[in-house]
Amino acid sequence: MIWPIAVTLFGLVIGSFLNVCIYRIPRGESIIRPGSHCPFCLKPIKPYDNIPLLSYFFLGGRCRYCKARISPRYPLVEITSAIFALAVLYRFGPGLRFIVYYTFISALLVITFIDIDHKMIPNTITIGGIIAGLALNPLLPVTLKESLLGLILGSGTLLMVIYGYFFITGRQGMGGGDVKLLGMIGVFTGWHGVVFTLLISSLIGSITGIVWIMLTNKGMKAAIPFGPFLSLGAVIYMFWGQYLINAYMGFMNAG
């Protein structure tokens, strides 16, 4: 019983740090210094007001000093991080693999929110992730060859999609950040993971896009960032990819 509790607390604390990354990395600020401060009155946040999850509720979702409303996304990211930490523990057990997969998922979580906020994906995370993933290859369930093929297939496919889309419409659909993101996902999941992630994220992305257009009447020009869908696809592959592929194969063979 000690592992799940420890991992949940760990996930909450890391989630708090991920909030800092989401806010500061796209602004080009250091993620270490200075310490947390209120984004409105800039007053430093005292350690006892900076407890993940709890502080948000004790303070009623407001800054202690200026009473500005703090986004509910802060506790949301902390809870999501803790849930992922638990999920990775149950799927992969404690140990080095936990660290590798949880770090990978944390990177995807940060990318998702930065892409939603700023419509961009920072190179520091994707290129850093590609390098880290290749270095950590012995800990991954994919060979170095599968990993490199994933990198080439992932970034190559999206590059072709971007050029193709530009050639046909004269507009740029996805950005270069998506190219590097799918490359990074390929490094961690191999080329199988890239194929799966691309299919699932396109499917979920299309459905979301159609619903979005129907609800908002904004048309396709209100570009929806693709990074969150790629991230979601990669997470689905990590936990259920093999199961879904087997189920699909069984279904096809039965038919």
Binding site for Zn ion (CB under 5 A): 38, 40-41, 63, 65-66, 68
Cα separation, 206 vs 212, whole angstroms: 10
User: What's the min distance (Å) between Cβ of 202 and Zn ion?
Assistant: 42
State which residue, 6 or 41, has the beta carbon closest to Zn ion: 41
Q: How far is CA 137 from the centre of its chain?
A: 20
**Cα separation, 104 vs 14, whole angstroms:** 13
* Angle value at C-alpha 134, between 230 and 110, nearest 5 degrees: 40
CB of 63 to Zn ion, least distance (A): 3
Q: Under DSSP, is residue 9 helix (H, G, I), strand (E, B) or coil?
A: helix
Amino acid at 146: E
Residue 74: CB minimum distance to Zn ion, A: 13
Cis peptide before 34 (omega within 30 of 0): yes
Min dist. Cβ of residue 8 to Zn ion (A): 29
Specify the residue, 65 or 165, whose C-beta has the smaller distance to Zn ion: 65
Radius of gyration of the chain from its Cα atoms, rounded to whole angstroms: 20
Smaller CB separation from Zn ion, 45 or 204: 45
* Other CB atoms within 10 A of residue 138 CB: 8
Separation between Cα atoms, residue 74 and residue 200, nearest integer Å: 28
- Nearer to Zn ion among residue 40 and residue 90 (C-beta): 40
Q: How many CA atoms lie within 13 A of 16 on its CB side?
A: 19
Shortest distance, position 62 Cβ to Zn ion, whole Å: 8
Looking at the Cβ atoms of 6 and 66, the one nearer to Zn ion is: 66
Q: Which is nearer to Zn ion, 64 or 97 (CB)?
A: 64
Nearer to Zn ion, 39 or 250 (CB): 39
Q: With beta carbons less than 8 A apart as the criterion, state whether 109 and 119 touch.
A: no
Task: Report in angstroms the alpha-carbon separations of 74 from 55, 99, 141, 150, 157.
Answer: 11, 23, 33, 33, 34
| Beta carbon of residue 12, minimum distance to Zn ion (angstroms, whole number) | 22
Helices 176-216 and 96-118 meet at what angle, rounded to 10?
60
Q: Residue 110: which residues within 8 A CB-CB, separation 6 or more?
A: 18, 21, 22, 25, 125
What's the closest the beta carbon of residue 42 comes to Zn ion, in angstroms?
7
